[in-house]
């Protein structure tokens, strides 16, 4: 699995199809969808219709990050749309274990998301119940933000906690990921990287993907 997850939030929708074809030739496996409801975060992005359209046109697997106040309402719609991975914020109220089960019952990988100012302790009860953790290295709501430097240590701490609990969950990072910080994040223990403007604004996506993978010392079989 290619560890780079391009985020459509950073795309120019007028040439999105062409960019996605470039990602196909670059052997990208996943596309990341930032779903925003205008309530949990100020921005409104897109809904399950986009996921459905992507599934009809392309062969990517889809990773949907729900930035919504009521994930219980949104989850069934995205399962029906065909997403493969589905995550929601630990900061939202509700039955976290029940929501994770709802996602898994829909044959999706289940993830939890952590904001930059949320204590890592809030994730500890769920590390054995999730398939992946998404660590936000910017505050959610907008693409193109600068990476928060303290996120590097948060990733390292969380990786140690995952190991101590003997959990098999993967560690994903999202926000300000670029060619300079992806290597240190990999060393700190991150497994997967949501990348926005650094990929979508690249003149040559295939070469940029290769540079990212080289920085991570990751080889694609």
CATH of the domain at 65: 3.20.20.70
User: Whole domain around residue 189: which residue ranges?
Assistant: 4-215
User: Hey, what are 171's tokens?
Assistant: 């560690």
| 213, two tokens | 């993978």
β-partners of residue 136 are: 174
Q: Count of domains in the chain?
A: 1
Which pLDDT score is estimated for 221? Answer: 44
Q: Is residue 220 part of a domain?
A: no
DSSP 42-89: S-B---HHHHHHHHHH---EEEEEEE-S-HHHHHHHHHHHT-SEEEEE
Place of tokens 């940029």: 208
**What does the DSSP assignment read for 167-213?**
---EEEEESS--TTTHHHHHHHT--EEEE-HHHHT-S-HHHHHHHHH
Inter-residue contact 217 to 211 (CB < 8 Å):
no
Q: What is the pLDDT along the chain (221 residues), one digit of tens a residue?
A: 999 999 999 998 899 999 999 999 999 999 999 999 989 998 889 999 999 999 999 999 999 999 999 999 999 999 999 999 999 999 997 899 999 999 999 999 999 999 999 999 999 999 999 999 999 999 987 666 789 999 999 999 999 999 999 999 999 999 999 999 999 999 999 999 999 999 999 999 999 999 999 998 775 54
Please check whether residue 56 lies inside any domain of the structure.
yes
Q: What is the pLDDT of residue 140?
A: 82
In a domain, 221, yes or no: no
Three-state DSSP class for 25? helix
What's residue 217's pLDDT?
78
Res 93: pLDDT: 73
Closest by CA position to 50, among listed 38, 40, 60: 60
Q: Residue 60's Cα: distance from chain center in Å?
A: 14
Catalytic residues: 34, 174
103 occurs within a structural domain: yes
Does residue 98 belong to any structural domain of this protein? yes
The predicted structure's pLDDT at residue 141: 74
Q: What would you measure as the largest C-alpha separation in the chain, in angstroms?
A: 46
Angle at 108 between CA 102 and CA 15, to 5 degrees: 125
Q: CA distances (Å), 60 to each of 32, 104, 121, 161, 162, in order?
A: 10, 20, 33, 31, 28
Spatial contact of 84 and 90, defined as CB atoms under 8 Å apart: no
Asked whether residue 136 is domain-assigned, the answer is: yes
Length of the chain: 221
Cβ contact 41:140 at 8 Å: yes
Q: What is the pLDDT of residue 44?
A: 87
pTM, whole model, 2 decimals? 0.94
**CA–CA distance from 126 to each of 13, 70, 88 (Å)?**
36, 19, 13
Is residue 122 domain-resident? yes
């Amino acid at each position: 699995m290619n560890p780079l997850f391009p985020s459509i939030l950073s795309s120019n929708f007028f040439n999105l199809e062409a960019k996605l074809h470039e990602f196909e030739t670059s052997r990208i496996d996943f596309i990341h969808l930032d779903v925003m409801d205008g309530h949990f975060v100020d921005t409104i992005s897109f809904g399950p219709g986009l996921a459905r359209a992507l599934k009809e046109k392309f062969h990517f697997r889809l990773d949907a990050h729900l930035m919504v106040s009521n994930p219980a309402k949104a989850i069934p719609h995205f399962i029906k749309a065909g997403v493969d991975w589905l995550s929601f914020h630990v900061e939202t109220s509700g039955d976290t274990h029940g929501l994770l089960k709802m996602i898994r019952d829909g044959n999706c990988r289940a993830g939890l998301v952590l904001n930059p100012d949320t204590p890592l302790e809030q994730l500890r009860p769920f590390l054995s119940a999730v398939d992946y953790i998404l660590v936000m290295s910017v505050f959610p709501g907008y693409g193109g933000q600068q990476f928060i430097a303290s996120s590097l240590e948060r990733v390292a701490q969380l990786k140690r906690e995952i190991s101590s609990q003997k959990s098999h969950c993967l560690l994903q990072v999202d926000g300000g990921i670029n060619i300079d910080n992806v290597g240190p994040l990999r060393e700190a223990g991150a497994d997967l990287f949501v990348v926005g403007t650094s990929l979508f604004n690249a003149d040559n996506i295939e070469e940029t993907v290769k540079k990212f993978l080289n920085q991570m010392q990751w080889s694609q079989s």
